[in-house]
Amino acid sequence: MTRVAFVTERFPDPARPGQVDWLAAVQARGIGVEVFAEQVGEPDRPIPFAVRALGRGRTWGARENAVGLGRAWARAHYLLREAPSPKQAVRAIARYLPALRHSVDLLHFDSAHVLARWRLLPKLLEAPALVTLRGADLADEDVCRSALCVADHVLVASRHLLAEAERLGCAKPISVVPEGVGTDFFCPAAGSEPPSGAYRLISCGELTWQTGPEFAVQAVALLVKRGLNVEYCVAGDGDMREAVLYTAAELGILNRVRVCSYLAAEALRDSLRQCNAYVAANVAEDDGVGPLLAQACGVPVVCTDAGALPEMVEDGVTGLLAKRRDAWDLAEKLAAVLGNPGQLTAKGLRARWRARALFSTSQRAERMALVYGALSSARVAVGAGQTARIGYG
């Protein structure tokens, strides 16, 4: 059995609903999965694989077998030899200790920044490294280039990120595998009718400068100024939370904007079902799956043309695209969708169909199983500098 260690910043990640699902689906396809995470949270459901906290030696446990202990000692010995000083060697051993006893066929780093922080793992575990290049990584191109040098293979979720990897001079093989969401769980309510009363808009995910939440609030204010009865829910957290509330207060619509923290999967699904449209006001790539979750629930999406959003949302079919950093254009597109009930229904139906056809958890798991299997058996799936476009046909 191929054994894959998924190395990530936090797990489960509330900003990425469905992460547990596709990893579990990969395991169901005969690939052993375990997770190494810098932060381990409380899951809202059973997790069918091991999750280990990196940087915490106490998670190593007291019942380790002799083989595991011997392997850990040999790898710790490498750190003792290579570290500039004994003090730094001890620190490195303490950091890497939870992973040292394990043997895996492949390390999958969830971002370039994660690989940069744990760049010795491939050497210590003698396993090839697959790194996911994310939009958030692009804010530090030096980190990206460093990670691309260490990695044996690169994974991206969109053609946009493929182009960015090539722009950064990536000479490693690249696989394109779109994100996936649980389209069986995130689905329209049975016999659901379009929400009545005020128009309800929603966004979910991390509140960062990349997501441009202040532009969404400005667009809502413009809709209210036009006389539309609009309510806006922001389900997420991040550095821009206070900016959202401040902007809403300054524009006099604080009573129409609600900012809550991350919602559990069931609560998020129920909130999406009660909305007329999803808003993504991104100014740059942010790796969020909110637009996919909304479309899976049959909710049309109005988003900007930033990053991979034009690949997630088919303009004029499952939603509308607006110019980035342009609250007026965003408001115009929202008004066009909200003002036409027939268009809302039609776009919602097509959004649901497209999410199931292109972005389901099972499809992502199938594609990732192919990538994992190829890398663990042949070390690289395709020749250096080539691209395996697994995701888009």
For residue 335, is it within any domain?
Answer: yes
CB 8 within 8 A of CB 118: no
Residue 73's pLDDT band, with cuts at 50, 70 and 90, is low
Contacts of 54 (CB under 8 A, 6+ apart): 7, 36, 37, 38, 95, 96, 98, 99, 118
Predicted local distance difference test score (pLDDT) of residue 385? 45
Residues 126 and 221 in one domain: no
Residues 137 and 232 in one domain: no
Predicted local distance difference test score (pLDDT) of residue 45? 80
For residue 187, is it within any domain?
Answer: no
Predicted local distance difference test score (pLDDT) of residue 240? 95
- HSE of 259, CA atoms in CB hemisphere, 13 A: 23
Residues 369 and 259 in one domain: no
DSSP labels, 49-114: SEEEETT-GGGG-S---HHHHHHHHHHHHHHHHHSSSHHHHHHHHHHHHHHHT---SEEEESSHHH
Q: Among candidates 141, 140, 114, 143, which has minimal Cα distance to 129? A: 114
CB 24 within 8 A of CB 48: yes
Residue 57's pLDDT band, with cuts at 50, 70 and 90, is very low
Residue type, 208: T
For residue 194, is it within any domain?
Answer: no
Q: What gap in Å lies between CA 20 and CA 16, rounded to an integer?
A: 9
CB 8 within 8 A of CB 38: yes
Residues 218 and 278 in one domain: yes
Please give the tally of structural domains in the chain. Answer: 2
Predicted local distance difference test score (pLDDT) of residue 76? 63
Q: Is 61 left (phi over 0), alpha (psi -120 to 50) or beta?
A: left
End-to-end CA separation in angstroms for the chain: 27
Residues 159 and 247 in one domain: no
Predicted local distance difference test score (pLDDT) of residue 95? 78
Helix or strand (DSSP H, E) at 339 = none
Residues 287 and 332 in one domain: yes
pLDDT tens track for 160-183: 999 999 999 999 999 999 999 999
Predicted local distance difference test score (pLDDT) of residue 392? 43
Q: Among candidates 134, 109, 101, which has minimal Cα distance to 36? A: 109
Residue 258 in 3-state DSSP?
Answer: strand
Predicted local distance difference test score (pLDDT) of residue 124? 87
Residues 155 and 216 in one domain: no
pLDDT at 270 over 70: yes
Residues 94 and 220 in one domain: no
- Average pLDDT in the chain: 89
Predicted local distance difference test score (pLDDT) of residue 66? 44
For residue 94, give its domain range. 3-180+360-388
For residue 189, is it within any domain?
Answer: no
320 or 100: which carries more pLDDT confidence?
320
- Among the ranges given (50-54, 150-154, 157-161, 297-301), the one the predictor scored with the smallest mean pLDDT: 50-54
Q: What is the mean pLDDT of residues 368-385?
A: 71
Residue 1's pLDDT band, with cuts at 50, 70 and 90, is confident
- Among the ranges given (70-84, 86-100, 137-151), the one the predictor scored with the smallest mean pLDDT: 70-84
Residues 332 and 379 in one domain: no
CATH number of the domain bearing residue 127: 3.40.50.2000
Tokens of 262: 């991350």
CB 352 within 8 A of CB 291: no
Predicted local distance difference test score (pLDDT) of residue 343? 86
For residue 210, is it within any domain?
Answer: yes
Residue type, 33: V
Share of the chain above pLDDT 70, in %: 88
Q: What is the mean pLDDT of residues 273-285?
A: 96
Residues 364 and 244 in one domain: no
CB 357 within 8 A of CB 170: no
Residues 116 and 231 in one domain: no
Q: What is the mean pLDDT of residues 7-24?
A: 92
Q: Among candidates 314, 308, 312, 363, which has minimal Cα distance to 159? A: 308
Q: Among candidates 12, 299, 267, 307, which has minimal Cα distance to 137? A: 307
pLDDT at 384 over 90: no
Residues 171 and 103 in one domain: yes
Own/partner pairs, 135-139, CB within 8 angstroms, 24+ separation: 135/161, 135/210, 135/284, 135/285, 135/286, 135/287, 135/307, 135/308, 136/111, 136/208, 136/210, 136/285, 136/286, 136/287, 137/111, 137/112, 137/113, 138/164, 138/284, 138/285
For residue 393, is it within any domain?
Answer: no
Q: What gap in Å lies between CA 351 and CA 368, rounded to an integer?
A: 24
For residue 299, is it within any domain?
Answer: yes
pLDDT tens track for 333-362: 999 999 998 888 899 999 999 999 999 999
Q: What is the mean pLDDT of residues 362-372?
A: 96
